[in-house]
Amino acid sequence: MINFAQIILLMRIDILTVVPELLESPFNHSMIKRGIEKGLVEIYVHNIRDFSTDKHKSTDDYAFGGGAGMVMTIQPIADAINHLKSQRDYDEVIYTSPDGTKFNQQVANTLSLKGNIIILCGHYKGVDQRIRDNFVTLEISVGDYVLTGGELAAAIITDAVVRLIPGVLSDETSALTDSFQDGLLSPPVYTRPADYNGWTVPEVLLSGNDRLIEEWRFNQAYERTKLLRPDLLSEEDY
């Protein structure tokens, strides 16, 4: 008989880039490395140039109609995506783009429930629009600014998603109390010693009264959010 409680769903993330070296360090340390070693996630970085039929392995060209900047060409990207999709189904094909959906905790939560994901890293002036029209299912922006390429954005998305996979963090409840999970910033945190050069920890945290501590944490989280990120609160929250 199958014990469904023991079934672990494996996430696979395939990242398409023209600069794979930029992603070596982020995925070989900390929580992402732990998730890989535990067999909870597989991350593969693919060099788009390997799929180019151009003799120089070029992946960019001038834009039709003129203008400054180069555009990522359709052929190597289309072949790379088709190669991956011929081996398995993918829940999302994500393109990192300044005009995509703003990445936040709710988007990370949703993606953490997916199985297989492709992330296409943008570069230059972007990719040929036909890639976005025919392959991409979700476009994501990590902020209102422009990066040299989408590799750092892909690393941010991957890190935020992988840490939510059960078993990656030592304490699985830790992610549930992160900032933004409940629409609020996290409250202040303290550790030993309780008194350092006269700087003391709030007495309520030393009381051992769980109810009072939770009330204090919620009030602190609310006040910090109201002060620092009022945009996160609706009118009903005031």
80-122 pLDDT per residue, tens: 999 999 999 999 999 999 999 999 999 999 999 999 999 999 9
User: 156 and 44 in one domain?
Assistant: yes
User: 158 and 184 in one domain?
Assistant: no
CA Rg value for the chain = 22
**Domain region containing 51:** 10-162
Between CA 66 and CA 143 the distance in angstroms is 28
Distances from the Cα of 15 to the Cαs of 96, 192, 237, in angstroms? Answer: 11, 42, 39
Does 149 have pLDDT greater than 90? yes
Between CA 225 and CA 143 the distance in angstroms is 19
Mean pLDDT of the 126-135 span: 97
User: 149 and 60 in one domain?
Assistant: yes
Question: Residue 5: inside a domain, yes or no?
Answer: no
CATH number at residue 186: 1.10.1270.20
Structural domain total, the chain: 2
